[in-house]
Structure 1
Amino acid sequence: MPRCARVKTNDAIYHVMCKSISDTPLFRNDTDKDMFLAYIKKYQQKYQFKVYAYCLMTNHVHLIIDSNGFDISKIMHGVNQSYAQYFNRKYKRKGHLFHDRFKSIVVKDDRYLVTLSAYIHNNPIAMKEYRECPEKYKYSSLAVYLGIRKDPFGILDEGFIMAMFSRNVKKARERYYKFVLTCSDVKVKKFIEFEDYQGEYRSNRIVLKRQCSPQEIFKFVEENLDIDTSLIYLKHSRKAKEYRAIIVYLLRCFCGYTYSEICKVLGDITLSRVAVLFNIGFELVNCNSTYKNLVKKFLNEKVV
């Protein structure tokens, strides 16, 4: 039977569910869970998506992801493939780890969004030790929502949902926790009343424009790095290599181009070389002081 086409839009928020194959545990210990979240962080840095909630259980994962204009399939393919390779290498196994494709459902409105977050945060109650205190489970974002601990990986944007309860942080935490306790089933019909309080939480969602043309990318690089982009075609030049890598990174992230399409833009370059340049570009804009503000500046100009 052919697979059904996945429902996707560039500006959607998704409930993403990943499950391990058969009886294989997805995570054997906390180190595995840490590694999965580390891959979320890695690809978040690459593709600039947002995470509103998460919960990692023994054989499945729940995520609320704001694709922020990027392709959710590319995001999850990167995360799941990287984790599966890590898992198989660590435990000396072969074959698939995840059960089929990841599942994703488009979140259509705010009321479903907050109820979904509560449902996800209630997952730990399936374990006896967390039945009365799901907020104590380490691999759920609920504790971050409630201010019990900080987000250890820096992947979470809890303010987006919390602002729907109150802009005052203390009130939002109190109301959200009460709401979570009422929502042990995703089909729950009881919703809270949203109230507008002045305070510190702000719920302003901005979606990145991902339809930039290659010409826009080249122009941006020329203007901000003060170079003639024709120089990127020079071989045996370290600077040309760096500029080429940054252009590949921007084309991939903000034009949504595939490696094949980037090959056509740059010409006389292989798929494997584009993949290498993408990773070099990622390292440059995140670790090299010369380029560390480049993406931030690009985002400021290109958000919608």
Structure 2
Amino acid sequence: MARPLRIEYPGAIYHITQRGNNKCDIYVNSLDRLTFLFFLSLTIETYHWLCHAYCLMNNHYHLLIETPEGNLSDGMQHLNSVYAQAHNKKHNRVGHLFQGRYKSFLIEKEFYLLEVARYIVLNPVRAKLVRHPKNWVWSSYRLTAGIDDPVWFLTTDWILEKFSSNSRVAQAMYEEFVHDGIKADSPFQYASNEGILGSQQFVHFIRDEIDDGGQVEEISQAEKKRGRLSLEDIFTKEVLSEKKRKEEAIMLARILNGYRLKQIADHLGLHYSTVSKILNKNEKSGNSRSDPQ
């Protein structure tokens, strides 16, 4: 299995988990949980994050974080560091509070954010700590459902607007949606080995765009000097005027000249998923001709 990558770019969304060292509790009492939420709120403010959901269990926590500035690692290092220091000082303990680095899945917003948000707030139910998510006060469920007054560091607009423009109706539909998920399968069974949860096009796009360090990269000057055909040379006016020739040119740009999906899509003014579908269609067509069943 491939090792999960640290993929960071502006606008990326993550499901994050962090566990206690040797499975120890990271919250001893309610004050510890309030302290963590305080540091989480400061981290959200400092790093300009959006928090769509959270759940504080006993020996681990879950976060659903959107990073407009692509700075997850910096923010997580800060959050875990300041909380661990405060926790150790308060409880007169030494050593690591957390078990290694946090784990994260990159989430495609439109396809899986709702599913992951539901998965997070249902953790206490799956762990048989409570029978209903509203009975666990240390998650974002009660805030999103309108049971408790909102807090500034939790972003509920995106989730609720997926149900209704009327806040009361949206909150009721959200409660029903979460309840329907109690017996649902984990969405993470559909994640890629690299830790990407999204459509086939999204996974294809991310795999195509990341460098070895997990950063979405732009075309470099060195790449431009490798002698490959330019996109202008590949996509001439004559080629663009015919659908079949255009699709063949996309294959040429991707497979023989090594252009990334985003580079091709941007040049043609298309969404990356459109380019991915064309590639997949032509690859399947080629396979069916050469290897009939």
Give me the TM-score of the superposition, normalised by structure 2. 0.60
Contact 1:7 1:105 in 2 (8 A): no
Residue of structure 1 equivalent to 2:10: 10
Q: What are the within-5 Å matches in structure 2 for residues 76-155 of structure 1?
A: 76-126=76-126, 128=128, 130-131=130-131, 133-152=132-151, 154-155=152-153
What is the alpha-carbon distance in structure 2 between the residues aligned to residue 73 and residue 79 of structure 1?
A: 10
Q: Which amino acid aligns with 1:166?
A: S
1:16 is paired with a residue of what secondary structure? strand
Which amino acid letter does the alignment assign opposite residue 49 of structure 1?
A: W
| 1:71 alignment counterpart | 71
**Which residue in the other structure is 2:174 paired with?**
176
Q: Once the 2 structures are TM-superposed, how far is the Cα of residue 3 of structure 1 from its aligned partner?
A: 7.0
Q: Which amino acid aligns with 1:113?
A: L
Shift of 1:183: 1.4
Q: Distance in 2 between matches of 1:88 and 1:81?
A: 11
Q: What is the CA–CA distance in structure 1 between the aligned matches of 2:54 and 2:135, rounded to whole Å?
A: 14
1:249-297 Cα distance to aligned partner (Å, 9 max, x none): xxxxxxxxxxxxxxxxxxxxxxxxxxxxxxxxxxxxxxxxxxxxxxxxx
Structure 1 residue 187 displacement after superposition: 3.0
Q: For 2:4 and 2:120, locate their aligned partners in 1 and report how far apart those are by CA, in whole Å.
A: 25
Give the conservation status (yes or no) of the 8 Å contact 1:39–1:82.
yes
Is the CA contact 1:27–1:33 (under 8 Å) kept in the aligned structure 2?
yes
- Measure how far apart 1:42 and its partner are: 1.2
Unpaired segments ≥5 residues, structure 2: 190-293
Matched, 1:159 2:154: no
> Which has the higher mean CA deviation after the structures are superposed, 77-86 or 100-109?
100-109
Residue 160 of structure 1: how far off its partner (Å): 1.1
Task: Indicate the SS of the match to 1:171.
Answer: helix
For the Cα contact (< 8 Å) 2:116–2:187, is it kept in 1?
Answer: no
Q: Which amino acid is 1:7 matched to?
A: I
Q: Distance in 1 between matches of 2:137 and 2:119?
A: 16
Query: In the TM superposition, what whole-angstrom CA distance separates every residue of 1:110-152 from its partner, at most 9, and x where no partner exists?
Result: 2311011111111121455621x21121111100111110135
What SS is found at the alignment partner of 1:62? strand
Identity percentage of aligned residues: 32
Q: Extract unaligned runs of 5+ from structure 1.
A: 190-304
Question: In 2, Cα distance between the equivalents of 1:62 and 1:89?
Answer: 23
Structure 1 15/176 Cα, relative in aligned 2: closer, same or farther at 3 Å?
same
TM-score, normalising length: structure 1: 0.58
Q: What do the CA deviations read for 1:84-103 (whole angstroms, capped 9, x no partner)? A: 10111111111111111101
CA–CA distance in 2 between the matches of 1:109 and 1:86?
Answer: 33
TM-superposed deviation, 1:4:
5.3
Letter in 1 for 2:145: L
Higher RCO, 1 vs 2 (CA within 8 Å, ≥6 residues apart): 2
Number of residue pairs aligned between Structure 1 and Structure 2: 186
Structure 2 partner of 1:41? 41
Could you tell me whether the CA contact under 8 Å between 1:49 and 1:70 is conserved in 2? Answer: no
How far apart are 1:70 and its partner, in Å? 3.6
The 5-angstrom pairing of residues 21-36 of structure 1 reads: 21-36=21-36
Task: Say whether the 8 Å CA contact 2:13–2:109 is kept in structure 1.
Answer: no
- Structure 2 counterparts to residues 116-265 of structure 1, below 5 A: 116-126=116-126, 128=128, 130-131=130-131, 133-152=132-151, 154-184=152-182, 185-187=185-187
The answer as to whether partners of 2:130 and 2:136 remain within 8 angstroms in 1 is yes
Structure 1 equivalent of residue 207 of structure 2: none
Deviations 1:30-66 (A, max 9, x none): 1000011100111222121110100000011111111
Quote the offset at 1:10 in angstroms: 2.1
Cα distance in 2 between the residues matched to 1:26 and 1:56: 9
Q: Secondary structure at the match of 1:130?
A: coil
Deviates more, 1:134-143 or 1:118-127: 118-127
Q: Which amino acid aligns with 1:24?
A: C
